[in-house]
Structure 1
Amino acid sequence: MLHTLARAEAVAARRAVAAATVRHRHVAERPLVLVPLTTAGEAGAPLGAMVGTDRAVPTLLVVPQPLDRELRFGFFAGLAEALLPEVERLSDEVEVEPATRNREETELCADALQIVVPNSAAVEFVRLVGRSTRFLRTVEDPEAPHPVPVPVPLLGRWLTHYAERARTPGSSLLLAMTELLTRHWATGQSAMEDQHLGALLGWIDPPPGLDGPAAAARAQTGRTPDGLLVSPPAGPATDPVFDNRVLAPALARYDRARAALEEAGDDARRRAEVAAAQEQVRELVASQLRPTWDDVWHGLDLLRTLPEAEHVAERWKRDRWSFTGHRDRVRAGEPPQPKRDDAVTAAQKLAGRETAQARLAAQEALDDPLAMAVRRLSGEAFSGTVLDVVMTWSEGRRPMPRPVLTVATDDLPQAEPGTKAYRALPGARSAQSAELVAVEPRGPEEPERAAPAPGWRVTVKLTGGMGSGRTPKEGSVPQVGDTVVFTLFEHDPRGGPALPDAEQTPWTHGGPPQSAVPGAPAAPVADAPDPVTPEDYL
């Protein structure tokens, strides 16, 4: 409801409105921006890319004939030259994590390379490139039928890791700019239109003299006198008009020049024609990539104006652990990631992503009042004023404090008495636990400091976070008149039970056959299939 309300307000104001008060994702000081461009109708066939960490000096990679295998491999080698040195630089900068009860002293990369792409389609392109290159055989293998440059498989392994990590909610290793912006601003257009970065930025930060709808319309449909889009989609789709009117003739000219060079042999004039045709393709591809390149950096500037949320550093540290773990696997000489995960690995990934999603939702609500308002509206949290505090103690040999709070609130908790509740305490490592005792309508005789009627009177018993003594530690029990926020969801959700090892996984889920388990009876031999007869064919 609040998301729909924000979009309606954006339509009325003719400009995007804030959907968050803080920035919920990490933005690196020196991210690597990648703007890819693919050939229409050829899945995974790159046409070009702009990549780099310097806003003013991008590296331009162009494939003058995307159907040529050697030129595509050269593109991947150029992409590896731009990306892998940054990975190696950050892989060598480490810090020491002290030993804990469950972990020895280990090294952790002090930072990780962050890759930013224009939209979610570009994230899928990164995954596709990683999948198609990590198993290729290099020129070091004399038996390889179509060898590729040496760094290409390593590039595929890193891109595969980044694409897999991007599926973890809250991860910031590989970010789509459109998803970043739509998380922090709400526009007056559809979610599909929000995937066009130029239109999205038109709503958020329109140029002088234009409002949001006009700027978005100009980005989506505005064309120059030669008929090309003012703001090409580039990420990684191309404009059909650009393909048919400009790109196709340039590629045909390049093909004719190459064919003429092959017929004439080593001819200086023919080589110059090939170079001129290739340069024309480079200029055309650069004209489609540069606007999106500038838009991505503009989006980063807008995001940096928001203060970073409190839990962002914790999630970025998890990304650094992921980066460090993959670095260690690569340096240990482990094989590339498999094409398909086994049952245990797939279940572990799914469970980890579910836990990360619950953790992300809880942390965003704790960091951002707008996100908490969504949970309050749905009955998963309530905020109000403390009307009364009654100190009680638990029964037993060692009585513990169990204060009972009466809270006046306008939020209706959607829970039965006895449900666990949680409250964040400043400086505490974990949330304070509580128990919902009763929820009653508030009458007109309530004091003025309570929220105006109609409302609710919620009774909550604190059950933890007050120390181990009979007297609660200072600051753990709110006072009358304080404003408190209780949630009905855990602040740090835990994962499920551990999964069995591969040796103990049933053969129905990818484990070893029963006969391979020591001490197990031999598996029954399957009956031979029926022989094929002439009646089996029509």
Structure 2
Amino acid sequence: MSDYTDTLNRILARSLNTAVPIRTASSMSSDPAVTIGIATVKIVTEEQIQALAFGPLNGRPTLILRINPIGRDVTDLAPFATFLDQVARRAIAAEGELRVWVPHAETIEALDILGHRYWRNQNAPTAIQRMGVICRNIAHEATFPGQQVVADARALLQEHAVTGLAPVEEGHLGAMLAWFDPTVRDPLSEARDRIRLPASGILVNTPDQPMDDRVDRLRKDLKSATGRRRTRLISEIEDILRWGILREWNLVVEARRAFLTLGLSVTGLDQLASDSKERMASALQNGHFPARRPDMLAQWLGQMETGVEKAEFAALEADPIVREEARRVGAVVQGVVTAVRQRRPRFKPCTIEVDSVQGTIRLRSDDKVRIAGSRVTGIVRAFQPLAGGGTRISVEIKDGVRQVGLLSVGARFDILKEPYGFVNYRAMKHVRDRQPWAFFGTAAPALAPGPSRGISAIRVAAGVRRP
């Protein structure tokens, strides 16, 4: 979205006192049967989770309030470990179908650190190690563009709607939610009030509510306390942690409700959901294996690039608003069919000429394209400038030659570039087996000395180039 359009939408939201949707299609598919929520509160200086809330989003969560989160005793995490193992079993039975709602990216980071701390910790119980593996699987899946497992509530609302706040203020989930609540008459004032208290997975620590400092002092006093005083200190710590974690839990529940209230279409996400299911099914059954070898890192990079292309294509095909923005920069081409060359109706070969008045076109010869909202695909074969301005594009139709309505003179549509969407696993396996020095060597191979032939590298390359 351009800065100009973004500003206009924010002015509109402020005048209407409500959030304004900027998308008609969702980037996240409908919640599957296995859908859970997780919220965390961490110690800022130690990166240790001191409170957890988890469970189904339509009921009361299970809470874990850790009196000594930096200690070696991890038995207090057993309920969370059991819960995650049960969820993983259900997801495996559903062929990897899983949805984890979190309030913001800080929760994903906290889960990743928790997983990293215990997934290979030989001193931890087996259940806790399994918990670490699942946490790492969830956090790893969240790194893939277009993934359909981890629903970051704050990011989803920012992606699909704008409020009357400045962009930097929308980093506070609670402030954003004031614009989605119809009972709030003045969302601007309410949002500014809410911003005073952080919503990023940590305890509030303001002059009037120094909860983080208070818990720190209580834990220090607890070390030497006994009897009733010890019980009272533990109770006060738990009360503060309970308030903090329930606040985080309520944020994710309210944000999910606000997102669903937008009523966005969920079409066009089948391929992304299938990719996520496949990755999660494998990860939950086989464990987490970080990519460290060069060939595995190359595969991971390829999956990332593929995810970006598929996610962008799904958004373009399903959302007219996104297509309109893409047309302005030439990523999507709108045109009218001016000629159809087809020897036999409804059969190949078939080539169409599409005239477009767009000033910017980012398509290139031999690009694979698709007509938006259809199964008609083709290959761009030629471009020709038009005398009165514009461009004529020649497209050889490969699939969908029976779509007479689209493949007829006068038909108007958008042309999208199809995602490449391919990771060459066979080539990476070959690289692994061959162990070439360029990938696996620590130093370049030594070349035997010999007399120079006096031929430049450019001439050598020209000699072996195919005509």
Structure 1 position 414 matched with structure 2 position 361 = yes
Deviation for aligned residue 1:481: 3.4
Match 2:324 to one of 357, 373, 382: 373
Deviation for aligned residue 1:494: 3.1
Name the % identity: 17
Structure 1 position 8 matched with structure 2 position 8 = yes
Q: Matched residue of 2:158: which SS?
A: helix
- Give the distance between the partners of 1:416 and 1:185, measured in 2 at CA: 30
Match 1:461 to one of 375, 384, 394: 394
Structure 1 position 348 matched with structure 2 position 299 = yes
Match of 2:353 in 1: 405
Deviation for aligned residue 1:357: 0.6
Deviation for aligned residue 1:206: 5.7
- Give the distance between the partners of 1:406 and 1:247, measured in 2 at CA: 64
The one-letter code of the counterpart of 1:77 is: A
- Give the distance between the partners of 1:321 and 1:357, measured in 2 at CA: 17
Match of 1:170 in 2: 146
- Give the distance between the partners of 2:245 and 2:207, measured in 1 at CA: 12
Deviation for aligned residue 1:416: 7.7
TM-score, scaled to structure 1: 0.73
Match of 1:115 in 2: 100
The one-letter code of the counterpart of 2:331 is: E
Q: Report matched runs for 1:256-405 at 5 Å.
A: 256-261=221-226, 270=227, 272-305=228-261, 306-330=263-287, 337-338=289-290, 341-386=292-337, 388-391=338-341, 400-405=348-353
- Give the distance between the partners of 2:390 and 2:245, measured in 1 at CA: 58
1:505–1:512 Cα contact (<8 Å) kept: no
Deviation for aligned residue 1:313: 2.5
1:27–1:304 Cα contact (<8 Å) kept: no
- Give the distance between the partners of 2:43 and 2:20, measured in 1 at CA: 36
Structure 1 position 479 matched with structure 2 position 435 = no
- Give the distance between the partners of 2:148 and 2:399, measured in 1 at CA: 35
Deviation for aligned residue 1:353: 0.3
What are the Cα deviations for residues 318-362 of structure 1, in whole angstroms up to 9, with x where unaligned?
1111121123314xxxxx535x61111111101110111112111
The one-letter code of the counterpart of 2:377 is: A
- 56-65 vs 76-85, which moves further: 76-85
2:22–2:161 Cα contact (<8 Å) kept: yes
- Give the distance between the partners of 1:243 and 1:157, measured in 2 at CA: 40
1:506–1:512 Cα contact (<8 Å) kept: no
Structure 1 position 438 matched with structure 2 position 377 = no
- Give the distance between the partners of 2:387 and 2:330, measured in 1 at CA: 15
- Give the distance between the partners of 2:438 and 2:382, measured in 1 at CA: 44
- Give the distance between the partners of 1:4 and 1:293, measured in 2 at CA: 35
RMSD: 3.3
Change (3 A) 1:416 1:371: closer
Q: Matched residue of 1:383: which SS?
A: strand
The one-letter code of the counterpart of 2:121 is: L
1:126–1:163 Cα contact (<8 Å) kept: yes
Match of 2:84 in 1: 83
- 348-357 vs 57-66, which moves further: 57-66
Unpaired segments ≥5 residues, structure 1 = 95-108, 138-146, 222-228, 262-269, 331-335, 443-455, 516-538
2:205–2:212 Cα contact (<8 Å) kept: no
1:422–1:486 Cα contact (<8 Å) kept: yes
- Give the distance between the partners of 1:337 and 1:466, measured in 2 at CA: 39
Deviation for aligned residue 1:192: 3.8
- Give the distance between the partners of 2:414 and 2:333, measured in 1 at CA: 6
- Give the distance between the partners of 2:230 and 2:387, measured in 1 at CA: 81
The one-letter code of the counterpart of 2:13 is: A
Deviation for aligned residue 1:168: 0.7
The one-letter code of the counterpart of 1:459 is: R
Change (3 A) 1:195 1:75: farther
Match of 2:51 in 1: 48
Deviation for aligned residue 1:392: 5.6
- Give the distance between the partners of 2:442 and 2:145, measured in 1 at CA: 32
What are the Cα deviations for residues 225-272 of structure 1, in whole angstroms up to 9, with x where unaligned?
xxxx4xx41x323322289834444454455345233xxxxxxxx1x5
Change (3 A) 1:258 1:408: closer
Q: Matched residue of 2:225: which SS?
A: helix
Deviation for aligned residue 1:219: 1.5
The one-letter code of the counterpart of 1:407 is: D
Match 1:505 to one of 424, 435, 441: 435
The one-letter code of the counterpart of 2:89 is: E
The one-letter code of the counterpart of 2:144 is: T
Structure 1 position 63 matched with structure 2 position 28 = no
Match of 2:452 in 1: none
Q: Matched residue of 1:328: which SS?
A: helix
The one-letter code of the counterpart of 1:174 is: V
2:91–2:281 Cα contact (<8 Å) kept: no
- Give the distance between the partners of 2:251 and 2:214, measured in 1 at CA: 28
Change (3 A) 1:162 1:441: farther
1:466–1:476 Cα contact (<8 Å) kept: no
Deviation for aligned residue 1:477: 4.6
Query: Taking CA–CA contacts closer than 8 Å with sequence separation of 6 or more, which of the two structures ends up with the larger relative contact order?
Result: 2
Q: How many residues align?
A: 438
What are the Cα deviations for residues 455-474 of structure 1, in whole angstroms up to 9, with x where unaligned?
x544232312357xxxx534
Match of 2:26 in 1: 23
- Give the distance between the partners of 2:444 and 2:12, measured in 1 at CA: 66
Unpaired segments ≥5 residues, structure 2 = 446-467
Q: Matched residue of 2:402: which SS?
A: coil
- Give the distance between the partners of 1:65 and 1:83, measured in 2 at CA: 22
TM-score, scaled to structure 2: 0.83
The one-letter code of the counterpart of 2:177 is: L
1:64–1:282 Cα contact (<8 Å) kept: yes
Change (3 A) 1:78 1:275: farther
What are the Cα deviations for residues 436-481 of structure 1, in whole angstroms up to 9, with x where unaligned?
4324364xxxxxxxxxxxxx544232312357xxxx5343753333
What are the Cα deviations for residues 288-338 of structure 1, in whole angstroms up to 9, with x where unaligned?
2223322211221222232333222321121111121123314xxxxx535
Match 1:127 to one of 86, 108, 112: 112
